[in-house]
Structure 1
Amino acid sequence: MAHRLSDSTSPYLLQHVDNPVDWHEWGPEAFAEAQATNRPIFLSVGYAACHWCHVMAHESFEDESVAELLNAGFVPVKVDREERPDVDAVYMDATVAMTGQGGWPMTCLLTPEGEPFWCGTYLQRPQLLQLLTAIGGAWTEQEAQVRASGTAVVEALTRSQDPAQEPLPLDPDLLDAAVATLTRSFDQEAGGFGTAPKFPPTMVLEFLLRHHARTGSTSAWRMLEETATAMARGGLYDQIGGGFARYAVDRSWVLPHFEKMLYDNAQLLRFYAHLWQAAGRVEGADATRHLAGRVVRETAEFLLRELRTSEGGLASSLDADTEGVEGATYVWTPAQLTAVLGAEDGARAAELLVVTLGGTFEHGASTLQLPVEPSDPTWWDGVRTKLKAARDQRPQPDLDDKVVTAWNGLAIAALAEAGWLLEEPAWVQAAVDAATLVVESHVVDGRLRRSSRKGQVGVAEGVAEDHGDLIEGLVVLHAVTAQTRWLESAGRLLDDAVARFGEETEAGLLIHDTASDAEPLVLRPRARGDNAEPCGQSALAGALLGYGAAVGSAQHLERAGRALGPMGTIAARDPRFAGWALAVAESTVDGPLQVAISDGTGQAELVAAVRQALPPGALAVVAAGASNQGQATPPLLRDRGAVNGRAAAYVCRGTRCDLPVSESEELVAALLR
């Protein structure tokens, strides 16, 4: 049996190299074999940090009887959804359409041409054996009917993708209505929206933060503050090592599903940095500011300590399992705390961290919560250090070390902006290193690739979200460093993305997930909303807005508005699935806000004022003086020099600019008006 996965750049696929199943990677070879042998394709989609993907692999794909049926009657294809989000999107749409729900592992049966005729998710071994036997018989005896079923599914999915004929503008009225809708689904007791399971609603929180900055809405502030506090104090947050788990399985954020994803932590890092800054301007929010600042520092440390690769990028995720046991690295019993800390400190830590004799997790163990801030920070720092050292001696979860373009774009923006706001230059340098890797390695023959691993770039081309998220990160990095090379790279990528992913329609600038010249699939995927990360539509809308603000291009700003149009319907119907579109839209109202600060006497005071009062989503560029000699001048700083020898701040909203100011008090007033 050929071990076709052995050269993959996906750690997930490499986990299946030794299966008795004769796996293929997605590609022409697999389809050619399916068509030559007239066998259906068995498509299995998952990702490295997925707990139930591991369970199904151990139960079924390591089983000889399953392998015998698969190898004899099907062409088995294994896909890493993180490497091929386009393939995942097409067949997830089919899975949801057929079953009413989706998730991973995803299991689909396809005709040799790729049309899905059966879809599901996790299957126990007996169920899978029964399915394979039944489908094998149906294919032999009723092939025409099976093929017709697949064709009908694709036709139905194609019809469902038709965009609305009229755009629904994301104007102030719709933004106000979105806040009202979110208020109705807000969990008044535990924070967040809806019931269990609860995922961090990061993009929605960012929208609420921007809405509060613009309108002063107390409802928006209450929802975002209570949710941010509950997430950071519960088991969702790693109180010892920093960083957030993927989601909580309960309503109260106590029981995490333990995998840690780069895309979650990058977005949460940026949001908490914005929250830290905003809380400094809200009366009575000192505790929130302190908590947000701690979360920012600990999460940035987690990213750079545990996800940074030797090439300078950021790895995708840490597994939910440790040696096959979910959460084994992270949970504690009172006895384990005592063994590390001693009787007195162990009992004190158990009370503080809600570690009980009965346990809050499984087998008498507890996740760690921090419902209140420790009364003795020095004691707590010592406890946290000792527990981290002891935990490091335990078996550790596996690392998925591939570098995904989109998620590194999110991390570049987060590390650069948080580093600038909290004056941590090492974080900014980490953003520079990641941007250097992606721009220099992931762009091949002028085209952006999706991922790399250990310096080897994958073959899959970048999708729309890769372009949008990376451009966003490069624009933010340009603003923080005042280096135009990042803006130039962003411009090249943006021109390519709009040309290849965009389609002008009556509904606005429609963004497809895949390029017009990409590998053809049975359906050209297009996300219907933001989910765990910005969809391609929202990501490129934000990229157009940020780039337009950075270069002073009314054309790009107008296109950003047209790209938001197709998101209006879902933003009005269910704003939880349009969080990034709503956040971008907030920045378009009376904006986007741009600030340029020239060289000159008093520059430091103006910079301090911007760090205090810059609204989230605004763009600030500071002249770097001697440290950037030889660099081209950023567009926002051209022809904007000192006034009477003093540094000057130039504030613009959209295409309208104020007179320059040189006093920090005037600048704060201009930013907060």
Structure 2
Amino acid sequence: QRPRPHLDTKMLAAWNGLMISGFAQAGAALAKQEYVSRAVQAAAFLRRHLFDPASGRLLRSCYRGKDNTVEQSPVPIQGFLEDYVFVIQALFDLYEASLEQDWLEWALQLQHMQDKLFWDPKGFAYFSSEAGDPSLLLRLKDDQDGAEPTANSVTVTNLLRAACYSGRTEWVEKARQILAAFSERLQKIPITLPEMARATAVFHHTLKQVVICGDPQGEDTKEMLRCVNSVFSPNKVLMLADGDSAGFLYRQLPFLASLERKDGKATAYLCSNFACSLPVTSLQELRGMLCP
């Protein structure tokens, strides 16, 4: 006869971002399109209910109302740093799984907004909350990866990926400044920041751009993409150069226009520091390039 416990119906942008990453990565690695579709549906939900297109800002949460409608609180809670970081990571993962450039474009827009709201130009790294909140005495920066990795740990890799997809080297510099800001803790107690330790390795080994030039619907292109996704290569970003010179990716990275399909076949290039490898058209050569 005890009253039923209250059901918490809130949906958080950050936690959904983590879930989207899981579905997108699993869908790509296991070639399970239903997982990628689930991630796409969740990302569309975030854009519809937890994003304000007028201001370009994320919202923290929404709630399930009566008859399974989605409701927002009378005064919506603005997104915190972790909401931006986990959603941006999710959108990069979703682009690599779906190759739909809209997710990539939104990720870069959110990264600009994150920089504007949370970056500390004096002490470097990102504050967990934005300036101007009268309820906060101090703006803090979390320095320990717990059940969730801390936002600054994840954002190092986000910034490196953002730089690869946009050509903006200032994001690489921001990643370096975050690692410098946390360097003493990384050196003395690295076990408290395992995600940032991993991001440090990514930073020093430089992310490689794996570019597949081909028709998205072509079977040879799909085989190359499956090959890339079947190999665990954490120091890479994947992009599809589909030949649409007016598309978002070509506008961000003009060098893509110089990469061509060899003999009319889907062709792969491995690029780093503004230099690309010779073209590769066989799956065996591509696998060897990814696993040197």
Q: TM-score, normalised by structure 1?
A: 0.38
AA in 2 matched with 1:482: L
Deviations 1:267-291 (A, max 9, x none): xxxxxxxxxxxxxxxxxxxxxxxxx
Deviations 1:174-208 (A, max 9, x none): xxxxxxxxxxxxxxxxxxxxxxxxxxxxxxxxxxx
AA in 1 matched with 2:95: H
Distance 1:630 1:403 in 2: 38
Give unmatched runs, 5+ long, in structure 2: 65-69
8 A Cα contact 1:538 1:580, kept in partner: yes
What is the Cα-based RMSD across aligned positions, in Å? 2.8
Matched, 1:563 2:181: no
Q: TM-score, normalised by structure 2?
A: 0.83
- Runs of 4+ in structure 1 deviating by more than 6 angstroms, as ranges, are none
Deviation at 1:422, TM superposition (A): 0.5
8 A Cα contact 1:641 1:647, kept in partner: no
Q: Which residue, out of 468, 476, 481, partners 2:98?
A: 481
Matched, 1:449 2:64: no
Deviations 1:201-242 (A, max 9, x none): xxxxxxxxxxxxxxxxxxxxxxxxxxxxxxxxxxxxxxxxxx
Name the structure 2 match of 1:409. Answer: 17
Distance 1:410 1:457 in 2: 21
Matched, 1:666 2:272: no
Q: Which residue, out of 513, 518, 521, partners 2:128?
A: 513
Distance 2:79 2:134 in 1: 11
Distance 2:245 2:177 in 1: 37
Name the structure 1 match of 2:195. Answer: 580
Superposed, 1:45-60 pairs within 5 Å as: none
Distance 1:469 1:527 in 2: 15
Superposed, 1:393-404 pairs within 5 Å as: 400-404=8-12
AA in 2 matched with 1:439: R
Q: Which residue, out of 26, 29, 37, partners 1:429?
A: 37
Distance 1:466 1:611 in 2: 27
Matched, 1:527 2:146: no
Give the SS at the match of 2:28.
helix
8 A Cα contact 2:163 2:169, kept in partner: yes
8 A Cα contact 2:164 2:237, kept in partner: yes
Distance 1:424 1:592 in 2: 26
AA in 2 matched with 1:593: K
Deviations 1:300-335 (A, max 9, x none): xxxxxxxxxxxxxxxxxxxxxxx89xxxxxxxxxxx
Give the SS at the match of 2:263.
coil
Q: Which residue, out of 515, 536, 540, partners 2:155?
A: 540
Distance 1:614 1:551 in 2: 24
Superposed, 1:308-327 pairs within 5 Å as: none
Distance 1:644 1:571 in 2: 49
8 A Cα contact 2:205 2:235, kept in partner: no
Distance 1:624 1:437, change over 3 A: farther
AA in 1 matched with 2:175: A
Deviation at 1:428, TM superposition (A): 0.7
Distance 1:531 1:485, change over 3 A: same
Distance 1:527 1:420, change over 3 A: same
Superposed, 1:137-156 pairs within 5 Å as: none
Matched, 1:472 2:67: no
Q: Which residue, out of 260, 263, 267, partners 1:644?
A: 263
Distance 1:582 1:416 in 2: 23
Give unmatched runs, 5+ long, in structure 1: 1-57, 63-322, 325-397
Across the two proteins, how many residue pairs are aligned to each other? Answer: 275
Matched, 1:612 2:230: yes
Name the structure 1 match of 2:67. Answer: none
Give the SS at the match of 2:264.
coil
Distance 1:609 1:460, change over 3 A: same
Identical aligned pairs, as a percentage?
25
Distance 2:157 2:135 in 1: 27
AA in 1 matched with 2:201: E
Deviation at 1:521, TM superposition (A): 1.0
AA in 2 matched with 1:411: M
Distance 1:476 1:432 in 2: 11
Deviation at 1:416, TM superposition (A): 0.9
AA in 1 matched with 2:92: V
Matched, 1:552 2:167: yes
Larger Rg belongs to: 1
Give the SS at the match of 2:234.
coil
